[in-house]
Amino acid sequence: MSGTRGTARARGKLSTGKFFTGKLSTLVRGWPILLLTVLLLALALPAGMLIAPALTGPAQSSAQPVQTPAWQLVPNRLSVPQGIDPLSSAAPVPVPADVAARLDPVLKTDGGGTFTAVVQDAATGKVLYDRNGAANRIPASNMKLLTAVAALRGIGPGERFSTRVITGPAAAAGTRSVVLVGGGDVLLGAGESAEAKVLGHAGLATLAKQTVDSLRKDGFKGQVRVLVDDSLFSGPALNPAWSPDDVAAGETAPLFPLALNSARFDPADTAAPRPQDSAMAAGSAFAAGLKTAGAAAGVTVAPAVVRLDGKPTAGGKVLAEVQSATVSQQVDLMLQTSDNYLAETLGRMTAVAAGQPGTSDAAKAAVLNELAGLGIPTGGMVTADVSGLALGNQVSARQFAEVVRAITNGKDTRLRAALAGFPVAGLTGTLGDRYIDESTAEGAGLVRAKTGTLNTVIALSGYVVDADGRLLVFSFIGNGLTPGAEGNKPALDTAATALAGCGCS
């Protein structure tokens, strides 16, 4: 019995298993259809919700309309510009004690030597900080500020220097001589005139083409002999106050009233030695341009370029002429790049404009005369050159601050032309690679100043608008410094940055 029951249960289980197995097989066979059905339902429901309103009209709802984000709305007022506010005479003048509290902790030398300093309110001239500011110091290239002022006053910001070609002395039959006359432009380019530039504004290739055109109009074909007249400058071409090592290193070169690229072989290489006879180098470049321009016109050029024997060439007929960038533009370039050769040239041209000879001594006298004409005290000031390369220069921080004040606020508005030449901290010129670390970055774009550097000398003179909107002028000079000490430039930069952030009223 028990056996019979057991067999029956087994048969029942087997039948049940077959039933479920059959059902499972049916489900498996129908699984793709089931999945497809679910998928269609999933897609149909949202689609239906989107389509339904179009068929039945908008649903009646009490929900509020979606608000337009504020940033998508039309503004109802102009945004406040982020920058330096316009200067106002109502801006408070800094309190001297507060200025001292900012400068004294940072204006410290790295090693030996001392800093002198003066800070003034530009509008009133009030001295806000004075650390032995009347003491004479070696100023290095801050001397170029004096030369800039002198050139703008003595020559004029809009004046230009002409480089001419005139007919020369009589030559053998079938030949002619032409004279390249230097007029003070030492920024000549070898190629075509580039009127949008300062360096190369006047090009010798353009001058050569003009010369060939004039010769052709005269019906001349034959050989041309090139002479160079550099008699506008006289006296020693090298200032005896300059170190021969500085000359050999290319800091400057013998002075002539015409030169290519401010007496450089390559304008992009400012650390290389310079040509020692820039006038003849310019003459050779002009002769090469004349040869190229004259080839199709039957004009040939004698191989040798000769310096005129010192006789003026005032009576010659002008065949061609190109003009330099303006004095204002040249001053800006001089201040931005701190070019000694250009500074000395502008000094000599200031003397020439005053009817004096184009000598180094006349240049120094002309600079002092122009400063005196501005009412800037020159007592005790010593000028060994007008570029700052000489160690014999002696000028006080107070005198430099007065010069900067004359540029920014003085009655002679011609001096305003020098404002654009001041290097901008962290951006341009000799300050382009400074004001980039944490201690000075806040002065980037705000401090504008002329730099000066010699072996044991560092200087920084310029102007800045403080946090209250007050224009301040300053001059910091370090002398007797430890050569190679790394902390002296940052000390001056940090001091100028402190002035920029000064809310010292």
Q: Is the pLDDT of residue 78 over 90?
A: no
Q: Looking at residue 77, what is its pLDDT? A: 58
Domain boundaries 162-325, corresponding CATH code? 3.50.80.20
- Domain 96-157+330-500: CATH class, spelled out: alpha beta
Helix (H) / strand (E) containing 453 = strand 448-454
Task: Please report where in the chains the tokens 């001594």 appear, as a residue.
Answer: 361
Q: Looking at residue 16, what is its pLDDT? A: 36
Q: Looking at residue 88, what is its pLDDT? A: 77
Q: What are the two backbone dihedrals, phi and then psi, of residue 227, each rounded to the nearest 5 degrees?
A: -115, 155
| Of 38-52, 154-168, 257-271, minimum mean pLDDT range | 38-52
Residue type (1 letter), 163: T
Query: Of 498, 494, 491, 493, which is closest to residue 111 (Cα–Cα)?
Result: 491
Alpha helices in 296-412 (DSSP H): 327-337, 340-353, 360-373, 397-409
Q: What percentage of the chain has pLDDT greater than the value 70?
A: 82
For the four alpha carbons of 142, 147, 153 and 159, in that order, the dihedral sign comes to: negative
Task: Please report where in the chains the tokens 């004001």 appear, as a residue.
Answer: 435
Cα separation, 24 vs 21, whole angstroms:
5
Residues linked to residue 453 through DSSP beta bridges, in sequence order: 458
Q: What's the CA angle centered on 490, arms 123 and 495, to 5 degrees?
A: 30
Q: Looking at residue 496, what is its pLDDT? A: 97
Contact 411, 138 (CB under 8 A): no
Q: Looking at residue 74, what is its pLDDT? A: 54
Residues whose CB is less than 8 angstroms from the CB of residue 403 and which lie 6 or more positions away in sequence, other chains included: 145, 146, 149, 371, 376, 461
Q: What is the mean pLDDT of the chain?
A: 87
DSSP 384-438: S-SSS-STT-BEEHHHHHHHHHHHHH-S-GGGGGGGGGSPBTTTSGGGTTSS-ST
Query: pLDDT band at residue 486, thresholds of 50, 70 and 90?
Result: very high
Q: Looking at residue 82, what is its pLDDT? A: 45
Query: What six digits make up the tokens of 291?
Result: 């040869």
Contact 349, 186 (CB under 8 A): no
Query: pLDDT band at residue 65, thresholds of 50, 70 and 90?
Result: low
pLDDT tens by residue, 136-175 = 999 999 999 999 999 999 999 999 999 999 999 877 778 8
Query: Of 384, 441, 401, which is closest to residue 121 (Cα–Cα)?
Result: 401
Query: pLDDT band at residue 68, thresholds of 50, 70 and 90?
Result: low
Query: pLDDT band at residue 315, thresholds of 50, 70 and 90?
Result: confident
Query: Of 128, 132, 105, 99, which is closest to residue 479 (Cα–Cα)?
Result: 132
pLDDT tens by residue, 318-367 = 999 999 999 999 999 999 999 999 999 999 999 999 999 999 999 999 99
Neighbours of 127 (CB within 10 A): 15
Task: Please report where in the chains the tokens 């160690």 appear, as a residue.
Answer: 391
Task: Please report where in the chains the tokens 């703008």 appear, as a residue.
Answer: 152
Q: Is the pLDDT of residue 453 over 90?
A: yes
Query: What is the domain partition of the chain in residue ranges?
Result: 96-157+330-500, 162-325
Cα separation, 139 vs 250, whole angstroms:
20
Q: Looking at residue 321, what is its pLDDT? A: 98
Query: Of 174, 180, 175, 206, which is closest to residue 192 (Cα–Cα)?
Result: 206
| Plot region of 427 (φ>0 → left; ψ -120 to 50 → alpha; else → beta) | alpha
Q: What are the two backbone dihedrals, phi and then psi, of residue 196, each rounded to the nearest 5 degrees?
A: -85, -5
Query: What six digits make up the tokens of 61?
Result: 């709802």
